[in-house]
A and B are shown apart, each in its own frame.
Chain A
Amino acid sequence: MALLELFNLSKRYDQHTIALSDINISVNKGEFIAVIGPSGAGKSTLLRCINRMIEPTNGEVTFDGVDLLHVKRKELRRLRTKIGMIFQHYHLVNRLTVIENVLHGRLGYKSSVVGALGIYTKKEKEQAIQLLRMLGLADQMYKRSDKLSGGQKQRVGIARALIQDPKMLLCDEPIASLDPNASKIIMDYLQKISQSLGITVIVNLHQVDVALQYSDRIIGVSQGQIVYDGTPTDITQEQIHQIYGSDFDDLMVEMNKEKHYAG
């Protein structure tokens, strides 16, 4: 059975702004999916509708056999603990230490009182340390998180998501603010997470080349609709052109530039 199913999912902000229309996707366990498309196509909205950070207008979202759109707040919170989220701007609490930010991933498992008091078990703390070590951040553990570089911050974001013990990761443009080097490190980690832990990863990207390189499956979004859903090997230049529309030429320039950096 599929881990996540979206059925006729739509989101409109008002009469004229339709962000998503009739999205149908079925995602299996362990898949690595890249969602590509120009900015403003609805990639972010799509990702946030999955864990109801944005309330969809119509449709169904089934995660792990549960109808997400019709659960109570408490149940929603419980389900969200199983979905890790990673953001373009990392969304760390800057003034707190790295390890505190990682432990925030456990708050969803706690009652309001215990969570509010910030009581973490020793096991949770040690797990946080292990994760940070694994992500190469052992030395930064007690630093304030605003002292880190962008790539390091994003790794903290990954650790925060992993400590949730998630079944799925939603990554909203995780490398859009990073340099090519840091981008590669982050994408490598995400790939390893997906492969060795069997966690489903859905990642929004605007870099087509990165998407083609890492993903098992590509979903192309344009103007709130899915225009491509298939393997990265099958996608043609024309289809990419269709996804990106008039932005295509800019994109090619950008891709060449990135190749230039990489080379």
Chain B
Amino acid sequence: MDFENIMKRIAPPSNRPVRVKPMNQSAIVIRLTLLSLVILTIIGFFTYDDTDVGMLEGITATFTNFKVMFTEPHFNHFTFMEGLYQVLVTISLALLTTVIGAVISLMLGLLAAKNLSTPKISNSIKNFVAVVRAVPTVLWVLIFAIAAGLGSVAAVIGMTFHSVGYLIKAYSESFEELDDGVIEVLKASGANWWQIVWQAVIPSSMTYIISWTFLRFEINFSVAVAMGAAAGAGGIGYDLFMASSFYLDLRELGTITFYILVFAILLEIVAIRIKRHINIT
């Protein structure tokens, strides 16, 4: 234990270099993953079909367009109040989807949670839901539109599918975080499954449920905008599509972007508030 010498002594000569960073599995996987992503990115650059436009001209044009859009927005095909109403329609679409999705997911989420269900049921729901989630929302909506016709029904049902896929995963994982002991105690005291769910599982996961559901509502708002543009769901998304592809009205596009931006930021602020509130209590 001779500190004095250590600080002053010149280390004994040795020829082998000193290793500092040994490779472990984690470090190797991180590097390999990053390397493959970079390679794929570079390959991508050479394969994109960009024959019609030059990259540079496009970027310059984008900046000019931004300037026009954001500094000179105007109302042409709808008034301020009409625009607001269209946003309301979009929000309503998102809301309906979230509410229907949350109710369905709550029930299926309970069955999908490992600690509340049998492994067989849990796994089959989870696998099924993974497939449901893998189908992009727009495809669900378009597939439903064949049966129900384009419109709010197809949009809400189609969007609900993806929401359910997302929320079941989130809910069941929150349920699984519940302390096993709590369930055991209630079981020992003779409570049945429903009593356990209502008295222990739901109350203790409530904060997660609210947080995830609102997060999904936030996502559904932008999904609803997109479905208005791509799948005839109506709302501000439809105006967006018309302004961009039909009227080619850049300034009105700016107005619409402002509408969407304001509401999206509002939702994000509320979501952050909810999250913070939940973390504190």
| Contacts from A to B (Cβ < 8 Å) | 95, 97, 99-100, 103, 118, 120, 122-123, 125-127, 129-131, 134, 142, 144, 162, 165, 192-193, 196-197
Contact = CB atoms under 8 A, between A and B. Distances in A.
Nearest to B12: A126
A134 B4 contact: no
Contacts, number: 47
Contacts of B18: 122, 125-126, 129
A144 B3 contact: no
Q: For the side of the interface on B, what is the size category?
A: 10 to 19
Contacts of B19: 142
Contacts of A122: 17-18
A165 B4 CA distance: 11
Contacts of A165: 7
A134 B9 CA distance: 13
B11 A134 contact: no
B10 interface: yes
A134 B1 contact: yes
A100 B2 contact: no
Given A125-B20, A129-B11, 16 more contacts: A95-B26, A97-B21, A99-B20, A100-B20, A100-B21, A122-B18, A125-B18, A126-B12, A127-B6, A130-B9, A134-B6, A142-B22, A192-B1, A192-B3, A197-B3, A197-B7
Contacts of A95: 26
Contacts of B3: 134, 162, 192-193, 196-197
19 contacts: A97-B20, A97-B21, A97-B22, A99-B20, A103-B20, A118-B20, A122-B18, A123-B11, A125-B18, A125-B20, A126-B11, A126-B12, A127-B11, A134-B1, A134-B2, A134-B3, A134-B6, A144-B24, A193-B3
